[in-house]
Amino acid sequence: MTESAKKVAQEAEDRLEKVAANIRERFDRVAQGSFTDKIKEGRFADQLDHGVDRARADERRKKQGGST
């Protein structure tokens, strides 16, 4: 590879690395804020509670001899 081709390839690689770093930073900002907000607002609490309640109800039915 000639020196000019190596220089062009290195510059392209540097630009791509900068783009990738910028995208990672923006994604982290967007994902962290929204996901953290959802957890703080308790949006996932109901889903977990329903699963526990359903499991408890299933266990009660099994002990009482009922079908699921």
Domain ranges of the chain: 3-64
- Answer yes or no: pTM beyond 0.75: no
Chain segment 26-58, per-residue pLDDT in tens: 988 887 777 777 777 766 665 555 566 777 788
**Residue 14, pLDDT score:** 96
Q: Say if residues 67 and 61 touch (Cβ distance below 8 Å).
A: yes
What pLDDT does residue 51 have? 61
pLDDT of 6 reads 94
Summarised one tens digit per residue, pLDDT across range 1-20 is 689 999 999 999 999 999 99
